[in-house]
Amino acid sequence: MAPSNTIRVLEHCRVAPPPDSITQTSLPLTFFDLPWVRLHPVQTVFFYEYPNSNTHFIHSFLPKLKHSLSLTLQHFYSLAGNLIWPPESEKPMILYVNGDSVSLTIAESNNDFYDLSGNHARNITESHPLVPPLPISDTLASTLALQVTVFPNCGFCIGITIHHAAVDGQSSTMFMKSWASICRSGDSSLSPELLPFYDRTLIKDDPEGPEKVYSNPTRSKAEFNSKSLTVMDCKAPPNSVRSTFELSRADIERLRKRVEKNKQTPPLHKSTFVLTCAYVWVCLVRADHLRKKRLRFVVAVDCRARLDPPLPVTYFGNCIACHMVHAETSDIKGEDGLGIAVEGFSKVIRGLDNGILISTKKEIPAPSEEMEAPFGIAWSNRFRVYETDFGCGRPTKAEMISIDKTGAMSLVESRDGAGGVEIGLALNKQEMEVFAATFANGLKAL
CA distances, 126 to each of 3, 119, 435 (Å): 9, 13, 21
List the 122-123 sheet strands across, edge first: 122-123, 240-247, 421-428, 409-413, 375-378, 294-302, 320-328
Q: Which helix (H) or strand (E) holds 98?
A: none
Cα diameter, the chain? 63
CA 326, distance to chain mean position in Å, is 23
pLDDT of the residue at 372: 75
**pTM score, two decimals?**
0.93
Q: How far is the first Cα of the chain from the last one, in angstroms, to the nearest whole number?
A: 37
Is 87 buried (19+), middle (13-18) or exposed (0-12) by CB count in 10 A?
Answer: exposed
pLDDT value of position 90: 87
Is the peptide bond preceding residue 238 cis, with omega within 30 degrees of 0? no
**For the residues of 99-138, what is the DSSP string, one character each?**
T--EEEEEEEE-S-HHHHTSSS-EEGGGTGGGS----B-S
d(CA 143, CA 141): 6
* Closest residue by Cα to residue 404 from 422, 428, 420: 428
Active site residues: 164, 389
- Is the Cα torsion angle 238, 241, 380, 182 positive or negative in sign? positive
Is the bond into 266 cis (omega within 30 degrees of 0)?
yes
Contacts 24+ apart (CB under 8 A), 361-369: 361/209, 361/210, 361/213, 363/213, 363/219, 363/220, 364/298, 364/322, 364/324, 367/292, 368/292, 369/292
CA–CA separation, 62 vs 352, rounded Å? 45
Q: How far is CA 99 from CA 86, 103, 237, 361, in A?
A: 20, 13, 40, 38
Structural domains of the chain in order of their starting residue, each with its CATH number: 4-215 (3.30.559.10), 240-444 (3.30.559.10)
pLDDT at 173: 98
Q: Along the chain (446 residues), what's the average pLDDT of each consecutive run of 10 residues? A: 68 96 94 93 97 93 98 98 93 96 97 96 96 95 98 97 98 98 95 96 67 46 65 86 98 95 77 97 88 88 92 97 93 93 93 67 53 87 97 97 94 95 96 96 95
Strand (E) or helix (H) holding 340: helix 337-351
As a whole number of angstroms, the distance between CA 255 and CA 92 comes to 45
